[in-house]
Amino acid sequence: MGIDAGQDRNQRRTVKTACIMSAPATSSFRALLSRSATAPGQAPVGRSNALVLAVAQGLFTAAVSIDLTLTGLTGYQLAPDKSLATLPFALITVAGAVATLFASLLMQRIGRRWSFVLGASTCAVGGLVSVWAVFHDAFWMFCLGTAAVGVFQAFAQYYRLAAADSVDTDHKARVISMVLAGGVIAAVLGPALAVWSKNLFPALFAGSYLMVFVLGLLSALLIGVGYRDAEAPGASTDTAPRPARNLWTVFRQPISLAALANNVIGGVVMMFVMTAAPLAAVGCQHSIDDGANIIQWHLVGMYGPSFFAGRLIKRFGMPAVLFSGMALSAACGVIAMASTTLVAFYLALLCLGVGWNFMFVGGTTLLASSHLPSERARVQGVAELIRYGFTAVATLAAGPVLERFGWAELNAVIFPMLAIAAAMTAVWVRANRAAVPQEAA
């Protein structure tokens, strides 16, 4: 479990550089790519992969948003017992959680390129299965189709980490932001595409699930043609790579704890409030369309800041951006508890989306810098499994908590969770500051 002095110095360098990782963000992917083209230490393959994965992220977000928009309604339409109506929806999250660790280990074995192609192809097959199920009123086959989309989600969650692992430390935050920015347009167009295509065939919603097939197929083709497995510059030149440490050693590092705090708690808070928000809005006498619009702008808040999050990290530092994300998430709770007007719902969910983005980009950057290449598959797989598991519980708990206690009380729950995230991040900041003088010495 121990590491020698040279390893310890290298580990401190990782912690030291993690607080300043960033790069300028711009208003378009082209500008992001052109600015990074001259950045020292960032290989052309890494830049190309980031752009491909940004587009793939958009295709993934569009496909999943169709399922998230329509699966509840379709499940109710097909279920032999209406109490099972939400089962297909739940299987998206359950299948994703089950497949997360498997996906990471498979990527270690056959590479990320073909693993991502397999994940996207599974989505395409799931879309076709869903189309067939809708035409034939086959509820259980529909469950199989939505579970396939959940498997795709498990693979797609590694897009941001794949981009980070193909560039050097100083550029990880930039490419993570770039990949997440791919979901901005898709977050808005996905639900619109679902509505537009739902009446393409006599069987209601069959056309929408055909769009899921098309988006999955396009994603598989894009990654198969445009993505290449690559390590960060200099990673392949190590003559004596360090052996993998056990998971306990990796995850007890302050940088790992901060990564988990921001990824897991940020995701739990976001999913807990977001899942309940449309129901709460309707319960407060707002329309169903108002509830949909609230979520649509929340999605913009989730992905929109990716265009400039890297620049903020460079200008103000990683800790400032992480704590700002927590403050914005807390502001969501304050606003929601203070008012139930439509404006308050919009403002609260917008703050929640931006807060999640800051915590997620920062937490992912820390996670990508917390482990050795030999530890990648296990560390990233377990970290994603933890995040998936907790967010799944938050999703399932949101409805009952809202029904029993109410909207204001539900939002009050997020403050202790954010306090834990702040404390764990503060431990990393303190350890990082202590490591800098030792490194200089």
Tens digit of pLDDT for each residue in 361-382? Answer: 899 989 988 888 888 888 988 8
**Predicted confidence (pLDDT) per residue in 150-187, tens digit:** 999 999 989 988 888 888 777 788 888 888 888 777 77
Query: 22-232 domain in CATH 1.25.40.10?
Result: no
How far, CA to CA in Å, does 53 sit from each of 39, 223, 229? Answer: 19, 8, 12
Among the listed residues 258, 244, 247, 360, the one whose alpha carbon sits nearest the alpha carbon of residue 302: 360
Class in CATH terms, 243-441? mainly alpha
Tokens 């439509």 belong to which residue? 342
Higher-pLDDT residue of 299, 441: 299
> With 80 as the cut, is the pLDDT of residue 253 above it?
yes
For residues 103 and 377, the answer to whether their CB atoms sit within 8 Å is no
For residues 68 and 86, the answer to whether their CB atoms sit within 8 Å is no
Which pLDDT score, from 0 to 100, does residue 257 have?
Answer: 94
> With 60 as the cut, is the pLDDT of residue 35 above it?
no
pLDDT band at 437 (very low <50, low <70, confident <90, very high): low
Tokens 């460079």 belong to which residue? 314
Tokens of 367: 């996670």
> With 60 as the cut, is the pLDDT of residue 16 above it?
no
Among the listed residues 280, 270, 425, the one whose alpha carbon sits nearest the alpha carbon of residue 355: 270
Domain boundaries along the sequence of the chain: 22-232, 243-441
In 309-413, alpha helices (H): 309-316, 318-338, 342-368, 376-405, 407-412
For residues 330 and 421, the answer to whether their CB atoms sit within 8 Å is no
Burial label, 126 (beta-carbon count in 10 A; 0-12, 13-18, 19+): buried
**Predicted confidence (pLDDT) per residue in 196-249, tens digit:** 887 888 888 889 899 999 999 999 999 999 998 877 665 554 445 677 788 888
Backbone φ and ψ for 240, nearest 5 degrees, come out as: -135, 80
Domain 22-232 and domain 243-441, same fold? Reply is yes
Among the listed residues 278, 199, 269, the one whose alpha carbon sits nearest the alpha carbon of residue 412: 269
Share of the chain above pLDDT 90, in %: 40
> With 70 as the cut, is the pLDDT of residue 109 above it?
yes
Which pLDDT score, from 0 to 100, does residue 27 have?
Answer: 39
How far, CA to CA in Å, does 401 sit from each of 131, 233, 405, 410, 411? Answer: 34, 48, 6, 6, 10
Question: What does the alpha-carbon distance between residue 197 and residue 194 come to, in Å, rounded to a whole number?
Answer: 5
Provide, for the chain, the percentages of residues in helix, strand and coil under a 3-state DSSP scheme, each rounded to the nearest 5.
Answer: 80, 0, 20
Question: What does the alpha-carbon distance between residue 396 and residue 266 come to, in Å, rounded to a whole number?
Answer: 16
Which pLDDT score, from 0 to 100, does residue 19 have?
Answer: 37
Question: What does the alpha-carbon distance between residue 139 and residue 79 come to, in Å, rounded to a whole number?
Answer: 6
Least confident segment among 22-31, 66-75, 325-334, 337-346: 22-31
